[in-house]
Structure 1
Amino acid sequence: MVKARPADRSTISEEPQTAGSQRQEAVANDIITSVSRPDSPISVASTSSTLSTPKKKKNRRAKGQQTPPSRVDTPLAATSTTQDDDEMTSLPLLICSLGNPGAAYANTLHSAGHNVVAALATLLQTSQFTKDRSYGNGSLTRSYSPETPWTLWQSPTYMNESGKGVSSAYRTWIRENPQGRLVVVHDELEKPLGSVTVRDKEGLSARGHNGLKSCLASLGGVKFVRVGVGIGRPVSRAPDDVARYVLKKMTPVERQKVEGSAEDVINKLLAVRG
């Protein structure tokens, strides 16, 4: 397990709001309104072994029989269960976060995926995020640890247009990492705040999430891992109330819970296989 360090930096900055009311209304219209169904997250199985030392049998010898030369007993070798090489090292992963760009939407519940990926970068001790044109103009950083050979990427587009950037980044990345997997981190209504759900099955729907809809449309059948980070849900189910809820800025407590899920995300992604 990767030990968490205090989140000492974040790539998400808040600036004076510049988005116009028309843009905010357009984003609000893209908010997800469907109710998620529970799924079982991927769990990491643990192994253990128990060693037992056989009892020595006494040999009776006839009187006068020569005792054979003594020998040094070979100590029992430790046979603790060790993981195979492919289990000790994680697959290369391209971990993409979905959200809305700009200061107006930074640190909102709907952009929780960006906060989580920024927190991952802190835990993995990567360099700062930088824009990369070959990766769909998204913000990029890398972990070079053998345990976590992961590339972290933040979408530069609005939620309902996420697929184009994710697809561009993936096409570039997969050429250098043909055995790797794509991971998409997104906010998830109906789930408790800060909870983590990992889905790695084919044929899953977008569950009404416009960012996932865009990814499914743009990736052309590419199988990817979905990491949903819970953002709760308002009491009212009215679309306007849901839109206001997901577009509001997170409180310090909410942000701490969302970004605090990063360690759980790491542990679950270490279990992802090809």
Structure 2
Amino acid sequence: MIHDLRAITFFVKTVELGSFRACADHFKLSPSVISQHIGQLEQKHNIALLYRSTRKLSLSHDGQLFYQEAKKMVEAADKAVDLLSGASPITKGRISVTCPAALVRAPLWQKIAQFLTDNTRVEIDLRCSDKRIDLIAEGVDLAIRVGDLKNSNLRSTKIATIQRKLVCTPAYFADHAHPKKPEDLKDWNWIKMKMMPPYRRLINKNGVATDIHANHRIEVDNVEAMYQFSRMGLGLSSPPDYMVADDLEKGNLVEVLPDWTVSDMQVYALWPENVRNGSLTNQLVKHLKSQKT
């Protein structure tokens, strides 16, 4: 059967193009090689597929029947190869993605939605969790992660930057001496994220950075939880700016040391190293990277 597949492909292309020579040119072989493979196929199965003359080829009755089925087989094989190479002109398929839950509110989420809107034949399994999973072990195609990356065998690229705000409630702010510099915050309570270092880096307008080691009694593993505890008056937090914009505008939160900024967080896409150009994973990464937020 394996040896037949090559001959069947040559047979279908010969019928489509009308001659051994045209088929040979297509595959960059000699006409005698094409003729020999088809002849061996006919001899092996004791059937005439093509009638040959010095001027043209024609299909036998059996050849006509065989061609209809063989053509379907070759087309199916081409489609299968397209799935591997990403050569299909239509973006389609299923992709599994993991990302931090806090990004649901981020502009990056709109980019994912736009990709799905533009490519209606794409299905997505999106897992929103702040837990960093093993992509290979879990069989996940793409991870979106925030912050420093650990060394791994995964490929990665930066796709966005998240700006943060240092905030607390007006009541919590009023209960403390108004800070003039980052060092004044050393005795304030911070809501700490488990996966983040035990300090915050604040940068002034001149680019001078100061690290403040966070005094905390509450530790969480979710940005939304950190943000909500801060909204309830339990201490300082540094959520993404898009998460706190509405509360700052309404006065539910206040920005602490507005002349200083919390260091930005970088957002990365990671995927297995054997993913090829043109794959669905590669296309989504390019879409996210080309529209940085």
Scaled to the shorter chain, the TM-score interval is: under 0.3
| Pair member with larger Rg | 2
Name the structure, 1 or 2, with higher relative contact order (CA <8 Å, separation 6+). 1
When the two structures are superposed, what TM-score results if normalisation uses the length of structure 1? 0.23
**Which structure has the highest helix share of the two?**
2
